[in-house]
């Protein structure tokens, strides 16, 4: 937006003709294509067509309860259609293409995909075979909703400051702490929770744990109402 002149102090506005200069930068498709394989290009076409046909007619949820219900519905639909496959393959370029198409049609569908990746990828990267067998197939099929629990009341971008602790107890761990701003809280089937196993080590003493939604002691205080 370009203004020819400044308004005098105290003048709120001037009636008359206004001119706006808006410049859009469109990415050069040839350059983007250099980073994609033929399978990526084919995937982009398929998911774009799917999103346009299946997601565009979705009505905007009127409230939080409706959004939660729609998120669960979208989870199943995306899983059944196979769109979570890039997560299982750890193919980040494919995941970006899927997210781009979903976001253009339904922001909520994109959020569902992104959160499913956040909660599942740590299990793929570091979980043992038993943990992966229990949660990954269900997550990729859209039968189990994931959640990523890192942020705390006093720790967000500074992950090393988290106060949640994990204490060894036989073959497992006992986690103690509070998380906040956790997407999918209260509706997820499992939570990838970050806790400190060795506070003296700072960020190097942090581990991730998978907590089932029905785990003893897991409680939810209240949903947070945000501006967007």
* Cα–Cα distances in angstroms (integers) from residue 117 to residues 16, 17, 24, 33, 47, in the given order: 51, 49, 31, 24, 17
Token representation of residue 215? 């785990």
Chain segment 108-119, per-residue pLDDT in tens? 999 999 999 999
Give every CB contact of residue 2 below 8 A, 6+ residues apart in sequence.
19, 20, 21
In sequence order, what are the residues at sequence separation of 6 or more whose Cβ sits closer than 8 angstroms to the Cβ of residue 104?
48, 51
Q: Which residue ranges form the domains of the chain, and what is each CATH number?
A: 36-55+62-144 (1.10.540.10), 147-212 (2.40.110.10)
Quick one: tokens of 165? 């602790």
pTM: 0.82
- Show pLDDT as tens, one digit a residue, over the chain (228 residues): 333 333 334 434 334 444 444 343 444 566 677 788 889 999 999 999 999 999 987 788 888 889 899 999 999 999 999 999 999 999 999 999 999 999 999 999 999 999 999 999 999 999 999 999 999 999 999 999 999 999 999 998 888 899 999 999 998 999 999 999 999 999 999 999 999 999 889 889 999 999 999 999 999 988 777 665
């Amino acid at each position: 937006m370009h203004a020819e002149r400044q308004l005098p102090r105290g003048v709120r506005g001037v009636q008359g003709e206004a001119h706006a200069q808006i410049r859009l930068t469109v990415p050069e498709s040839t350059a983007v294509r250099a980073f994609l394989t033929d399978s990526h290009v084919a995937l982009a076409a398929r998911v774009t067509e799917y999103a346009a046909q299946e997601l565009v007619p979705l009505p905007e949820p009127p409230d939080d309860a409706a959004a939660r219900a729609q998120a669960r519905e979208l989870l199943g639909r995306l899983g059944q259609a196979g769109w979570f496959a890039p997560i299982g393959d750890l193919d980040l370029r494919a995941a970006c293409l899927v997210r781009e198409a979903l976001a253009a049609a339904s922001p909520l569908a994109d959020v569902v995909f992104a959160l499913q990746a956040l909660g599942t990828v740590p299990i793929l990267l570091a979980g043992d075979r038993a943990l992966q067998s229990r949660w990954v197939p269900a997550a990729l099929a859209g039968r189990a909703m994931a959640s990523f629990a890192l942020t705390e009341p006093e720790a967000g971008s500074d992950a090393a400051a988290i106060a949640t602790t994990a204490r060894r107890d036989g073959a497992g761990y006992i986690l103690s702490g509070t998380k906040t701003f956790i997407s999918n809280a209260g509706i997820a089937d499992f939570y990838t929770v970050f806790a400190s196993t060795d506070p003296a080590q700072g960020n190097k003493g942090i581990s991730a744990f998978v907590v089932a939604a029905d785990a003893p002691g897991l409680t939810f205080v209240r949903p947070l109402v945000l501006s967007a």
